[in-house]
Structure 1
């Protein structure tokens, strides 16, 4: 399809649906794998290696795909990422069925799942960088933050949907759940193959100013996501050790808190996508400041209700901070949109890896310590965005 025929609304709609479907599959695997792995005879350590090493591979591969997206086009990178996601879910469904039927051993299913997950991680690592670059291609500079908010909302909606599928089906019908999710991602892949145009270079803008000078914004990404990931690790523990809830009650309450935070984040991103006309600098400043204040309130919370309220406020604040920060990265990247997005994916991966480790270590000191450290991280992020040069931020 020629560049002149690109319809931004249609492209945005296609990408939203595709990213949401892929995120649903990703979330299902993260939520369901620990319990499902035990049923398959895979140890907790092996399950952790499967998730952790594949995440590391994706982090390392993302910048490579980012450069490829700028040089070779975004469309093929998106299609490869979606196809890899659908293929992994289908393979996982088949392997799960075989294992539960006794047709393959525990070692065999682990090796096959590990190989499939690693291949999916490497081939799919370019999906988000390429999608971010497409949103940058189809949005004007003064609407860039709205595009980034829509992309983030797609991931959030998909994550909530995948978590809901895991809650309802992972225990009783994991094979059916995996097959349904594989079909959804495959349908999204087919739709993108038929209707998604190539957008790289469509505006005729000068080629890249490069990806220099992004360190400030990449640091904000890493700080914000490490704080959020730390809370994912320790919220249930805080409810048990800090507030005395029983294990089952803590799991239910903690899951509800994190789901509420995600829903609030999606709400913030959808508000932005639907017309909140703040420039990226204001979004980042308000979001970072709000997140720091909410985390301070969470650290000081004396019971589950105030902690719940603080987590909801944190989600809403991150729903403003993250798209604003992405928009600043995009506006500084020039024609190197996918390459810059690939570097941001590395910052995301580092934050998501460091957060749980730091959270678990700090929880041993005090149930409040991870929240205080997360608040300090967001204070640092706020200082970075408050000191950002306005000519780049807006």
Structure 2
């Protein structure tokens, strides 16, 4: 029951995030905002999200992840409602120009600050109720909700934007509100913490805290989402400017692309990541080349069908990378340090979104394809680092 509730909570927020990322560039273009305005909205909210992840992870460790999860979901529901209402005011002519941008900025950053409580709470609970040797599979189970949310969210958005560009935002608040009720009503207040002999020995000796490659893993995870942020910032504008689509068609096109990526991510998590006994370090070595190839295809593509092929590579790489990185990082520290590492891992995607959108907007002004080749080069570089530094070895806890 616990994993089902955690899955649904992350599914609801993932759907909401994918809806926002699908509709935000077309909404910005419709309201007369520039690419940099849209990029700044993404970047500033990501900054607050990253800071909030670290904060809420520590609070959750002290106050209980259940309470913090309810806080995050409630903040997401109210924040999305306010954010959508500001857009509605702009379409009615009540807000425009700088006033509109400031109102959107306040609404989005406020939402991000509270909703950032959700991911560390979900991951923290997943770690708490799973044994260490099952951690990669446990994290994959809950993180697969993120992949499913990216499947359903763009599809959801694509269907509802035909009614109105804001319809998906208002509709998603109902789902996150449902998650609040379910968590409050059914999630147990106390969670047991299975321990392995390795965990017990580590806690007793206290000879190790955090492996030195954990910061490298966090940087790798941030680079994945830095590239994703550049793609999401640029793709809708690219479809409008290069392929000649309308704002509604661009939202639907981005939604389909993200859906394909998420289907592949979910499929590979269910069929490979949750079933394999391969060391997480080796899984990471497979993930980054797949990601680099995906962005290279986006850079080279001439027809939309080629874009959708690229999403197969991106989804496969993303489906492997996050649970493998999270499992390797959280298994490389003492239990008392897991809150810190969990907070950093769940905050690292937001780290990528802080820099990615404005950097993509700058590159897009130079050339419409530049953000995609920059992402390909970055991830090829990270793949090389992974091959060199993440050598095949037993679980770090085994060596203590």
SS across alignment from 1:390: coil
- Aligned residue number for residue 79 of structure 2: 88
CA gap of 1:302–1:374, structure 2 versus 1, over 3 A, is farther
TM-score by length of 1: 0.80
**5+ residue gaps, structure 1:** 1-9
The alpha-carbon deviation at position 219 of structure 1 amounts to: 2.0
The alpha-carbon deviation at position 283 of structure 1 amounts to: 1.9
- Aligned residue number for residue 352 of structure 2: 351
Deviates more, 1:129-138 or 1:366-375: 366-375
- Aligned residue number for residue 217 of structure 2: 217
CA gap of 1:179–1:350, structure 2 versus 1, over 3 A, is closer
Does 2:247 match 1:246?
no
CA gap of 1:41–1:182, structure 2 versus 1, over 3 A, is same
Tell me how far apart the structure 1 counterparts of residues 234 and 87 of structure 2 sit (CA, whole Å).
30
CA gap of 1:239–1:340, structure 2 versus 1, over 3 A, is same
The alpha-carbon deviation at position 83 of structure 1 amounts to: 0.6
The alpha-carbon deviation at position 374 of structure 1 amounts to: 3.5
Check conservation: 2:282, 2:392, Cα contact below 8 A.
no
The alpha-carbon deviation at position 328 of structure 1 amounts to: 0.5
Alignment of 1:323-334 (within 5 A): 323-334=323-334
The alpha-carbon deviation at position 13 of structure 1 amounts to: 0.5
Check conservation: 2:40, 2:357, Cα contact below 8 A.
no
CA gap of 1:188–1:72, structure 2 versus 1, over 3 A, is same
CA RMSD, Structure 1 to Structure 2 (Å): 3.7
- Aligned residue number for residue 25 of structure 1: 16
Tell me how far apart the structure 2 counterparts of residues 166 and 24 of structure 1 sit (CA, whole Å).
9
CA gap of 1:87–1:357, structure 2 versus 1, over 3 A, is closer
Deviates more, 1:172-181 or 1:318-327: 172-181
- Aligned residue number for residue 281 of structure 1: 281
Tell me how far apart the structure 1 counterparts of residues 184 and 129 of structure 2 sit (CA, whole Å).
18
> 1:327-384 CA deviation, whole Å, 9 max, x = no partner?
1112123323332121123432222333445555556377574254134234235325
Does 2:42 match 1:51?
yes
Deviates more, 1:375-384 or 1:248-257: 248-257
Tell me how far apart the structure 1 counterparts of residues 384 and 355 of structure 2 sit (CA, whole Å).
16
Tell me how far apart the structure 1 counterparts of residues 171 and 307 of structure 2 sit (CA, whole Å).
35
SS across alignment from 1:333: coil
Aligned length: 381
Tell me how far apart the structure 2 counterparts of residues 307 and 53 of structure 1 sit (CA, whole Å).
28
**5+ residue gaps, structure 2:** none
- Aligned residue number for residue 7 of structure 1: none
Check conservation: 2:73, 2:177, Cα contact below 8 A.
yes
Tell me how far apart the structure 1 counterparts of residues 62 and 392 of structure 2 sit (CA, whole Å).
29
